[in-house]
Amino acid sequence: MKAIKIFTIAAVVFSAMACNSAKPAGVASDMIPSKGAVDSVSYLMGINLGSMIKGYNLGDLNFSEVKKGMEDFVNAKGNQRDTNFVKQFKINPEKISEIMNNFIEKRNAYTAAVNKAEQDKYFEEVKKIAGVQTSESGLCYLIKEPGSDVKPGPQDTVYVHYKLSLKDGSVIEEVPESDPSVMLTLNRVIPGWTEGLQLLGEGGKATLYVPAELGYGERGSNAIQPNTPLVFDITLDSVKHFVEPESK
């Protein structure tokens, strides 16, 4: 599990920092990392830990306990392979996977429930936007420019520019018009894209309001929380139709 890997890296770095805190006699001062170097490593370790906290949606942790855990590990005595080593901590570090998985599952379930309620309210407002249509699947879409008669099918490859936003307007990722278009195959993307792109012809533009059920669902993905609706502003540049391979 990633948590164990990061925990191990943190332990090694903090142990090294602890070893560097005292200068044995006869060792030149310029061999010891400077305060600036220690501060830089310390800050980067904070970023590493922060990335884990944010990536796993751990929420507001008790940072005094985070600090206490690091200090306890750095100050621990003996060999880490010794079975008695873990007895120095109030919680056995070997249980990190079990404890964290339970915590994450509970956090995600709570987040999913909150986001689902907010999504329902959000789509009530989306459906009031002039020109927005709703398909049987629940996909809401606004065709800004329909494009040509050349439309993709569910197995076709498309070349697009797009911007992905959350319902609050914050941008998650973007392929701006100044960059080359990206290639996507419609049977390998989220269902909201597979359905929505087939409504456009080449050169068309649309905004897709994708409910979580047609996006990343109850699990979410990376920066996208469980049950999060997605907003895509898409330009369909071109279509490459699927050709059935000849049977031999």
Last residue of a domain, one of 33, 63, 91: 91
Same domain, 75 and 147: no
Predicted local confidence at residue 220, as pLDDT:
85
Same domain, 149 and 229: yes
Q: Would you say 201 and 236 are in contact if contact means Cβ atoms under 8 Å apart?
A: yes
Over 50: is that where the pLDDT of 179 sits? yes
Residue carrying the six token digits 């569910």: 154
Q: Would you say 97 and 41 are in contact if contact means Cβ atoms under 8 Å apart?
A: no
As beta bridge partners, residue 230 has 210
Predicted local confidence at residue 62, as pLDDT:
94
Residue 32, class by beta-carbon neighbours within 10 Å (0-12 exposed, 13-18 middle, 19+ buried)? middle
Same domain, 149 and 234: yes
Same domain, 136 and 236: yes
Same domain, 55 and 147: no
Model pLDDT for residues 31-64, shown as the tens digit of each residue: 788 889 999 999 999 999 998 888 777 888 999 9
Supply the range of the domain harboring residue 38: 2-91
What's the total number of domains in the chain?
2
Q: Would you say 180 and 238 are in contact if contact means Cβ atoms under 8 Å apart?
A: no
Give strand ranges (E) for the chain: 133-134, 140-145, 157-165, 171-175, 182-185, 205-210, 230-240
Same domain, 134 and 210: yes
CA distance 111 to 101: 15
Q: Answer whether residue 182 is part of any domain.
A: yes
Same domain, 85 and 161: no
Residue 108, token pair as written in the block:
């995600």
Residue carrying the six token digits 């005595």: 77
3-state secondary structure of 178: coil
Same domain, 137 and 236: yes
CA distance 122 to 165: 14
Closest Cα partner for 215 from 97, 106, 122?
122
CA distance 207 to 233: 4
219: CATH: 3.10.50.40
Q: Answer whether residue 101 is part of any domain.
A: no
As beta bridge partners, residue 210 has 230
Q: Would you say 186 and 244 are in contact if contact means Cβ atoms under 8 Å apart?
A: no
Same domain, 143 and 204: yes
Model pLDDT for residues 91-131, shown as the tens digit of each residue: 998 898 999 999 988 988 898 999 999 999 999 999 999 99
Over 60: is that where the pLDDT of 16 sits? no
Predicted local confidence at residue 6, as pLDDT:
47
Q: Answer whether residue 180 is part of any domain.
A: yes
Predicted local confidence at residue 235, as pLDDT:
97
- Work out the mean pLDDT of the chain and round it to a whole number: 88
Instruction: Count the alpha carbons within 13 Å of 31 in the hemisphere toward its beta carbon.
Output: 9
Predicted local confidence at residue 58, as pLDDT:
86
